[in-house]
């Protein structure tokens, strides 16, 4: 074999993983169907931001191919392709199926096919069944199939790959052991379980986060109805209370949280509960727009500066970001929207240009550079005298979701 491991899908999960294996001395083939991505990698250019990855890309050797069939040149094949959700509340397996069909004719005895993508329960057994049905393999003896889910946070990949317990759910006798042997080179403890438990552990890791943030988001909306302050209520809940732990509100989304719940919801014994969590998080942009209108009147012709497009602080990942939804809703109000985000690839205005003469300034992403006294001073001096500041993250520390810039500055100066 020319390679030890092939990684199919060089996205935010696959590429840092490929680089990490190569860093451990494995011969790695990276496969992706996107020619632009491959061109960037040939030029040793990271196509997205991930701490430490550029330096690693420059240092290690990575074979590259655009043909999934070439992945069979390695004993272990790790699938890190995207698994979106249809609006039918159902996993969209088309990319995974397409890669499987490309691999079917070239798989041989001894190959390990490891699913790193996030999948709905029983997908790993489906993959094993597909290979058994079409090629007659005895899975766990001739060919090995396992789910090895990814739970790393974007931006912390290289740190967490070596420390987060690595869950392995193998099909049949020996798949778990074979998958564990590959992943143990990365240094994290290996935790063996069944395929469906590995799948459930991954999606429920994300469901836990999604639901955890829906509660303060719903509380924020509840507080508005009662003219109460959400940050004070959260402090009352949590302060010196051993069973507290309410999280802070914000715009909760991103490519994983927004769809992974659907992989449980598609055959939930309590249908609707997670959809309600989704609806709460999805309604935050509308809540913010309505809150602006209640305070400054119609937004038509008013300038609204949106700070942040990324789905969370410190990342350049805009996929499924609620900041984009916020911008769309503001545009539907005929507001003049100016956006600033120094991290993302979408071209945006500079900070000064965005906040200049703004009637409203919204912190949509709590990037560190926005949450500073200097940024607040700039808003105060450059936006309109009576500018409204919308800060669901409490990025400025004034403890107000909606407050006028002068008020925010006075409150932060006093604290």
Ligand X SMILES: NC(=O)c1ccc[n+]([C@@H]2O[C@H](COP(=O)([O-])OP(=O)(O)OC[C@H]3O[C@@H](n4cnc5c(N)ncnc54)[C@H](O)[C@@H]3O)[C@@H](O)[C@H]2O)c1
Q: Which residues contribute to the site for ligand X (CB under 6 A)?
A: 8-14, 31-34, 37, 68, 80-83, 95, 98-99, 117-118, 150, 154, 255-256
Instruction: For the CB of residue 99, give the shortest distance to ligand X in the complex, in Å.
Output: 4
CB of 44 to ligand X, least distance (A): 17
What is the residue whose two structure tokens read 């740190």? 159
Q: In angstroms, what CA-CA distances link 326 with 13, 152, 157, 329, 381?
A: 27, 27, 29, 5, 25
CB nearer to ligand X: pick between 120 and 171: 120
| CA pair distance 373, 378, nearest whole angstrom | 9
Cβ contact 315:344 at 8 Å:
no
Backbone angles phi, psi at 265, to 5 degrees: -60, -25
Q: From CA 328, how far away is CA 316, in angstroms rounded?
A: 19
> Which residue do the tokens 């992706």 mark?
32
What residues contact residue 57 under an 8 Å CB cut-off, 6+ apart?
Answer: 19, 41, 44, 45, 46
Q: Which is nearer to ligand X, 14 or 172 (CB)?
A: 14
Closest CB to ligand X among residues 346, 372: 346
For ligand X, the closer CB: 150 or 199: 150
Nearer to ligand X, 167 or 330 (CB): 167
C-alpha gyration radius of the chain: 24
Of 81 and 139, CB closest to ligand X: 81
Q: Which long-range contacts (CB under 8 A, 24 or more apart) does 100-103 make?
A: 100/127, 100/130, 100/131, 102/67, 102/68, 102/69, 103/68, 103/69, 103/71, 103/72, 103/77
Nearest approach in angstroms of CB 201 to ligand X is 12
CB of 202 to ligand X, least distance (A): 7
User: Please, which residue, 258 or 325, has the CB nearer to ligand X?
Assistant: 258
- Tell the smallest beta-carbon distance from residue 251 to ligand X (Å): 17
**What are the backbone dihedrals phi and psi of residue 296, each rounded to the nearest 5 degrees, phi first?**
-115, 0
Q: Could you tell me which of 138, 130, 149 has the C-alpha nearest to residue 190?
A: 149
For the record, the structure tokens of 141 come out as 């003896």
CA distance 24 to 187: 10
* In the complex, minimum distance from the CB of residue 149 to ligand X, in angstroms, rounded to a whole number: 7
CB 289 within 8 A of CB 329: yes
Residue of minimal Cβ distance to ligand X: 11
Smaller CB separation from ligand X, 148 or 405: 148
Q: Which helix (H) or strand (E) holds 113?
A: strand 112-115
CB of 118 to ligand X, least distance (A): 4
Closest contact distance (angstroms) between CB of 388 and ligand X is 33
Smaller CB distance to ligand X: residue 31 or 304? 31
User: Rounded to the nearest whole angstrom, what is the least distance from the CB of residue 8 to ligand X in the complex?
Assistant: 5
- CA dihedral in degrees (5, 8, 13, 16; nearest 10)? 50
Q: Given the complex with ligand X, which of 208 and 228 has the nearer CB atom?
A: 208
Shortest gap between Cβ of 217 and ligand X (angstroms)? 21
| Complex with ligand X: residue 153 or 413, whichever CB lies closer | 153
Residue given tokens 């906040």 in the structure block: 355
The residues, any chain, with a CB within 8 Å of residue 355's CB and separated by 6 or more, are 305, 307, 338, 340, 361, 378, 379, 382, 383
Q: How far is the CB of 306 from ligand X (least distance, A)?
A: 23
């Amino acid at each position: 074999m020319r390679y030890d491991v092939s990684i199919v899908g060089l996205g935010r999960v696959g590429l840092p993983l490929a680089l990490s294996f190569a860093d451990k001395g494995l011969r790695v083939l990276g496969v992706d169907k996107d020619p632009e991505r491959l061109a960037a990698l040939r030029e040793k250019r990271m196509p997205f931001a991930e701490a430490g990855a550029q330096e690693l890309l420059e240092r290690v050797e990575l074979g590259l191919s655009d043909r999934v069939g070439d992945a069979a040149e390695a004993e272990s094949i790790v699938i890190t392709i995207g698994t979106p959700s249809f609006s039918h509340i159902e996993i969209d397996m088309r990319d995974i199926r397409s890669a499987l069909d490309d691999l079917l004719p070239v798989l041989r005895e001894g190959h390990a096919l490891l699913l790193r993508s996030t999948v709905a329960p029983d997908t790993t057994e489906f993959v094993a069944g597909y290979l058994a049905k079409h090629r007659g393999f005895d899975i766990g003896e001739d060919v090995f199939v396992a789910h090895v889910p990814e739970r790393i946070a974007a931006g912390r990949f290289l740190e967490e790959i070596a420390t987060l317990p690595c869950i392995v759910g193998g099909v049949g006798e020996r798949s778990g052991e074979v998958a564990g042997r590959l992943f143990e080179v990365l240094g994290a403890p290996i935790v063996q379980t069944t395929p469906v438990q590995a799948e459930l552990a991954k999606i429920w890791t994300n469901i836990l986060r999604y639901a955890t943030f829906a509660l303060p988001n719903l509380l924020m909306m509840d507080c508005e109805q009662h003219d109460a302050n959400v940050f004070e209520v959260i402090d009352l809940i949590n302060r010196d209370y051993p069973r507290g732990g309410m999280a802070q509100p914000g715009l909760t989304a991103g490519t994983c949280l927004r769809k992974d719940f659907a992989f449980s919801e598609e055959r939930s014994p309590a249908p609707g509960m997670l959809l309600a969590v989704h609806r709460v998080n999805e309604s935050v942009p509308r809540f913010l727009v309505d809150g602006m209108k209640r305070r400054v009147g119609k937004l038509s012709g008013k300038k609204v500066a949106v700070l942040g497009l990324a789905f969370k602080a410190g990342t350049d990942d805009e996929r499924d970001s609620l900041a984009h939804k916020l911008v769309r809703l503001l545009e539907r109000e005929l507001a003049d929207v100016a956006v600033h985000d120094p991290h993302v690839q979408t071209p945006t205005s500079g900070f000064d240009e965005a906040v200049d003469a703004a009637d409203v300034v919204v912190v949509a992403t709590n990037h560190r550079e926005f949450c500073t006294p200097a940024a607040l001073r700039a808003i105060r001096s450059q936006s309109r005298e009576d500018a409204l500041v919308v800060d669901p993250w409490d990025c400025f520390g004034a403890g107000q979701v909606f407050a006028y810039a002068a008020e925010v500055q006075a409150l932060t100066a006093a604290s």
